[in-house]
Amino acid sequence: MKLKAVTGLVFAGLAYAGIAGAEVAPGDVVWTDNVAIAESLTGAPGNAADGVAVVSSRAQGNCVACHEISALPNVQFQGNIGPSLDGVGSRWSEAELRGILVDAKHMFPDTRMPAFYRTTGFIRPGDGFTARAANPETFGPLLTAQQLEDTLAYLMTLTD
């Protein structure tokens, strides 16, 4: 009887740990006031060092194509289309920055910034015009939940 109870508690603890660390799918993101996302998309904090790679890599987030970040002086060809990201960790809360990264149009309807963690609601020409339209069944977000959380962790370090 005691073994059964202990086994049940261990199982319940493992199940809770699995839920807490579960990745939130793009369609299941919970917005606050339609501009902020309070909860982590991965259930764990991001890694700021990995976020630098996402921000500066043309194959990943490529934030520097549009934004300037003085803390990354060795990253060439930084953009000036979007606002400088210097001090962004002081200007916005973590929840607001997560919302901007997931889909900036929630906060800034006229922005040209891509939605990095959205898979629906896009307007595409389709196969009739390009013959290369993305398969809606396999179309994924531009960044993974972990990449987004890593980017957020890095942006939160930019307070000056």
pLDDT digits (tens, 9 = 90+) for 30-60: 999 999 999 999 999 999 999 999 999 999 9
In a domain? residue 48: yes
In a domain? residue 136: yes
Phi and psi (nearest 5°) for 26? -50, -40
Q: Domain containing 138 — which CATH number?
A: 1.10.760.10
pLDDT of residue 8 exceeding 80, the answer is no
In a domain? residue 55: yes
Structure tokens at 113: 């910034």
In a domain? residue 69: yes
The residue count for the chain: 160
In a domain? residue 90: yes
* 8-state DSSP, 64: G
In a domain? residue 160: no
Is residue 143 within 8 Å of residue 151, measured between CB atoms? yes
pTM of the model: 0.81
Confidence of residue 127 (pLDDT cuts 50, 70, 90): low
Q: Give the C-alpha separation, 116 to 103, whole Å.
A: 6
Q: Give the C-alpha separation, 62 to 69, whole Å.
A: 12
| Owning domain of residue 123 | 2-155
* 8-state DSSP, 122: -
In a domain? residue 117: yes
Q: Give the C-alpha separation, 125 to 123, whole Å.
A: 7
Q: Give the C-alpha separation, 82 to 13, whole Å.
A: 45
In a domain? residue 113: yes
pLDDT of residue 113 exceeding 90, the answer is yes
Structure tokens at 115: 């939605």
Confidence of residue 119 (pLDDT cuts 50, 70, 90): confident
Q: Where are the beta strands (DSSP E) in the chain?
A: none
Domain count, the chain: 1
Q: Give the C-alpha separation, 35 to 120, whole Å.
A: 17
Q: 73-111: per-residue pLDDT in tens?
A: 999 999 999 999 999 999 999 999 999 999 999 999 999
* 8-state DSSP, 144: -
Q: Give the C-alpha separation, 120 to 124, whole Å.
A: 11
Mean pLDDT of the chain: 84
